[in-house]
Homo-oligomer: A and B are copies of this chain.
Amino acid sequence: MEHYANRVSRCREQMKRDGYDALILTKPANMYYLTGDGRLCAYAMVTREGTVAMGVPQTDIEDVKQNARADFVTGFDDEVGLIHSVAHFFKQFEIKQGAVGLEKAFLPEPRLGMFTHPHAKPEEVEARDCTPLMSELRLVKEDREIELMKRAAEVAAIGMKAAVAMVRPGVSENDVTAAADYAMRQAGATDFYRSYVSSGPRTNIAHGLPTLRKIEQNDLVMIDLHPVVNGYSSDLCRTVCAGVPTPDQREAYNIYVRALEDTIAMVKAGVGMMDLEQNMHGIFKEAGHGEHIFGPPIHGIGIEFEEAPLPAGHAFFHGEKAPPPLPKNAVIAVGNCGLYTGPWGVREEDTVAIGQEGPVVLTDFPRQLTLDE
C-alpha cells in the first residue's frame, strides 16, 4: 500500500501549493488513484495533513475497509446522510475556512450541490475546481502503473485477435463486439470503456459504437478496444477489410499507418502534444487528406481510457489545463483521429509511454488491412 501513501504525500504538496485545505473526490478514477477504491456513490476526502476519509454506502463499509487505504470510513443511508457525513468530516478535521477542491468537470450541478450544501460545507470554505490538480497528480505514471497498462494492452490484443477472427460478411458489428468483450473478460478485463466496432459507411463516424448492421463483402471494419484490467486501461484500434480493399482504401490506410508510426517515433521526454498533432496532421495534409481529418490525434490514458493530457482546445471544455511538454512516464494514445473520406474511414491507435529517449509502445498487434496478410 506504500504507493498510495506516496500519492497522498504528493497530493498534499500540490494542495499546499494551490491553497487547498481539503479535496472531496467522487470521480472513481481519482478516488482509485489515492485510495485503491473507486466505487460509485461514494467520496474520498483528503486533508492538507494527508488524512484520507471516505464516505460510502452503509452496506459497503467492510468491503471498503478491506480494499481502500483510508484513515476513516463512514457509512450513509441516503443523500441526506451523505451530506451530514461530509459536515461531520469538516468538523472532525477542524476545517472552518479556506478552500475545498471539488471535481466540477465531473459532477453536474445537482450532485455537486450535495457537497456545497449549507448542511455539508462550512460557509467560509470556498469550493473550487480541483480537476486540473488531480490530473497533474496522475500525469506521470509510476513504473508499476506502466506495467499494469502493459498488461491491459495484452488483454486488448487478445480481444482484437478474437474480434478480427470474427470479421466476415454476414456477421454483425455486435457479434464482433461480443467476441472481443468475451475474450477480454476471460483474460481478466473486469470492465470496458466502450468497445467500438463499426463497418462499411459507419467507419466514417466519429464514435462507432456497434450496431446490428451486418458486415458486407469488402467492407472496412474499425475495431477500437479499451479493456480495464486491474484498474488500468489501454487503447488499441485496428482497421481491417472483409475482402479486398479498393486502391483508395489501401492508399489511405498506408498513409495513416505511416503518419501514426512517424508520430510515435517522435515520442520522447519533452515533446509537445501539439508537435505530435501537427506532425500527424501534416502528413495527412501533404498526402491530400487535409479535409478528412477529425479529432485530436493524441490523448492521455491511464486509469481512464481518455484522461489528461488532452490537447489544449479540448482540455478547456473538460475543465483541464493545457498540457506541459510531455514528461517521462506520461502515457498517451496516438491515433485518436481518423481519416474520414466520406463513404469510409481508416484509423489505427496505439498506447505509448513517454520514454526518456524515445517511445515505449505498450500495445502490440499486427497491422493487417486484409485478413490474409
Q: Which residues of A contact B (CB under 8 A)?
A: 39-41, 57-60, 62-63, 77-80, 104-114, 129, 174-175, 177-178, 181-182, 185-186, 188-191, 201-202, 204-207, 209-212, 294-296, 313-314, 316-319, 338, 340, 342, 345
Contact (Cβ within 8 A) A317 B113: yes
Contact (Cβ within 8 A) B190 A185: no
Interface centre among A57, A129, A190, A212 (most CB of B within 10 A): A190
Contact (Cβ within 8 A) B175 A185: yes
Contact (Cβ within 8 A) B205 A57: yes
Chain A binding site: helix, strand, loop or mixed by DSSP?
mixed
A104: contacting residue among B77, B106, B110, CB under 8 A:
B110
For the A-B complex with A59-B206, A77-B294, A191-B209 known, give 20 more contacts whose Cβ atoms are closer than 8 Å. Answer: A39-B205, A57-B205, A57-B294, A58-B294, A59-B294, A60-B204, A62-B342, A78-B296, A79-B314, A104-B108, A104-B109, A108-B108, A109-B112, A110-B317, A111-B317, A111-B318, A174-B190, A177-B185, A178-B185, A188-B212
12 contacts between A and B (CB under 8 A): A57-B207, A58-B340, A59-B338, A60-B204, A62-B201, A63-B204, A108-B319, A109-B129, A113-B317, A181-B182, A182-B182, A188-B212
Say how far A237's CB is from chain B's closest CB, in angstroms.
15
When distances are taken between beta carbons in the complex, the residues of chain B under 8 Å from A191 are 209
One complex includes copies of this chain to the number of 2
Q: Which residue of B lies closest to A191 (CB)?
A: B209
Q: Which residue of B lies closest to A183 (CB)?
A: B178
Q: Which residue of B lies closest to A203 (CB)?
A: B59
Q: Which residue of B lies closest to A177 (CB)?
A: B185
Known A-B contacts A104-B109, A110-B104; the reply to A39 vs B207 at CB < 8 A is yes
A186: contacting residue among B60, B112, B178, CB under 8 A:
B178
Say how far A104's CB is from chain B's closest CB, in angstroms.
5
A80 to B317, CA, bound (A): 10
Contact (Cβ within 8 A) A205 B63: yes
When distances are taken between beta carbons in the complex, the residues of chain B under 8 Å from A178 are 181-182, 185-186
When distances are taken between beta carbons in the complex, the residues of chain B under 8 Å from A63 are 201-202, 204-205
Contact (Cβ within 8 A) B340 A59: yes
A62 to B345, CA, bound (A): 13
Say how far A73's CB is from chain B's closest CB, in angstroms.
13
When distances are taken between beta carbons in the complex, the residues of chain B under 8 Å from A104 are 108-110
A342 to B181, CA, bound (A): 33
When distances are taken between beta carbons in the complex, the residues of chain B under 8 Å from A190 are 174, 209-212
Q: Which residue of B lies closest to A202 (CB)?
A: B63
Lowest 6 CB-CB distances: which A-B pairs, in order?
Answer: A178-B185, A57-B206, A110-B319, A59-B340, A182-B182, A79-B317
